[in-house]
Structure 1
Amino acid sequence: MNRIPAASLLLVAALAVPFGASAKTSDRNQTLGVDADTSDCSTDERAPCLFTGNVEITQGTLEIKAARVDVRRSNGQIQRTLLTGSPVRMRQQMDDGSWVDATAAQADYTLTNDTVVLTGNAVVNQPGQGKIEGQRIVYNMSTGRVQGGGEGQGRVRMQFQPRNQGQQPAQQPAPAARGGR
């Protein structure tokens, strides 16, 4: 198993914020594990650190599956992580106990501006809360801003679940019978 700093791959930690929940806070303090068929990393941080073939990343409840992960470093710190797959799959539990799932052809996390860009049939779904789909979803984890786009002919689609989903409407009392005199 290969290990890299936790901040580099905590991609979806805040993707659910637009739907009203935040990623499991305790996950950030958990060990980050990376399993892959191969790795090619150098002590020269100008060279990428590559993980390829059935890449699986776990940290607490965070689970990421990708075909390839490209980690870029500078000044001893990870600057950018690019995940590709068919598709990249991400799943994480939120502090409220719900789960968020995301898929995309590519996920690009830039630490310098704290932004995650999901491209290629991107879908972020938080059951019971909502869903966003598009060819490109940009999430700025510092500001909480989410932008979706269709790129070309496509469109962005969002669905919001009603707050009272699953609740039955209150029963109205039956009208009183009118009796004749």
Structure 2
Amino acid sequence: MFSTILLISMGGNSLALPNDRFQDLSIQADSAELDDQNGTTTYAGKVIVEQGSMKITAAKVIIYGRNDNYSMVVATGKPARLSQIPKKGQEAVTAQANRLEYRITDETLFLIDNAAFKQEGTSLSGNRIEYDVKRAVVKAGGKSDASGDDRRVKMVIPPKALSTEEQPQE
């Protein structure tokens, strides 16, 4: 259960450059296993997934689905990392957690366990972060861990750049 919920409306409607989904998908790993009966493909060992500006690095990546009908991608690591450029000329959005889940059908990214999300200089961290890509809404939650430490949500917003007229005088 979340002890804290934070809703932020992020700019833009997408986490990716418009042409990323039309780029080749490249996956590198130490091993791969296709389980056709269960509809999963598992990549393990220093996994790198790239498509356009998107890059995922993880210890393990499992893709759920078959025949170009995929429902979810799960990346795990200590931490698993994702970066992607949302619009041309912008900084990459970065996310990391011990577990990244991207639910393709509802375009939602879940960052679970030691989660951190950064966009345009603003950073957000907590135990769990949920990013609704379609609506560009982030929810973050903190909770006490097994040791009893309170993992509250933390957000850091950098100051707005001042114009020349607004600069403090010495």
User: Secondary structure at 2:129's aligned position in 1?
Assistant: strand
Shift of 1:149: 0.4
Match status 1:159 vs 2:159: no
- Could you tell me how far apart the structure 2 residues matched to 1:47 and 1:106 are? 20
Q: What value does the CA root-mean-square deviation take over the aligned residues?
A: 2.5
Partner of 2:69: 77
Which residue in 2 is equivalent to 1:91?
Answer: 83
- TM value normalised by structure 2: 0.79
Q: Unpaired runs of 5+ in structure 2?
A: 1-7, 145-149
Question: Is 1:141 paired with 2:133?
Answer: yes
The amino acid of 1:100's aligned partner reads: V
The offset of 1:53, in angstroms, is 0.2
Question: Deviation of residue 135 (structure 1)?
Answer: 0.6
Equivalence map 1:111-130=2 (5 Å): 111-128=104-121, 130=122
Q: Give the 3 Å change call, closer, same or farther, for CA 171–105 of structure 1 in structure 2.
A: closer
Residue type of the partner of 1:111?
A: I
Alignment match, 1:37: 30
Corresponding letter in the other structure for 1:54: K
SS of the counterpart of 2:106?
A: coil
Q: Whole-Å Cα distance in 2 between the matches of residues 91 and 167 of structure 1?
A: 30
Query: Which deviations, in whole Å up to 9, do the C-alpha atoms of 1:37-67 show, x marking residues without a partner?
Result: 00001333x2421000000011111111000
| Deviation string, structure 1 residues 108-155 (Cα, Å, up to 9, x no partner) | 111232211101111111243x11111100112233221000122211
Greater share of residues in strand? 2
The answer as to 2:11 corresponding to 1:20 is: yes
Instruction: Tell me the CA shift for residue 90 of structure 1.
Output: 1.2
34-43 vs 96-105, which moves further: 96-105
Q: Please list every run of at least 4 consecutive aligned residues from structure 1 whose deviation after the TM superposition is greater than 6 angstroms.
A: none
CA distance in 2: counterparts of 1:114 and 1:40, whole angstroms:
25
Indicate how the Cα distance of structure 1 residues 18 and 88 shifts in structure 2: closer, same or farther if over 3 A, else same: farther
- Measured at CA, do residues 43 and 59 of structure 1 come closer, stay the same or move farther in structure 2, by a change above 3 Å? same
Which of the pair has the greater relative contact order for Cα pairs under 8 Å at 6+ separation?
2
Opposite residue 11 of structure 2, the aligned amino acid is G
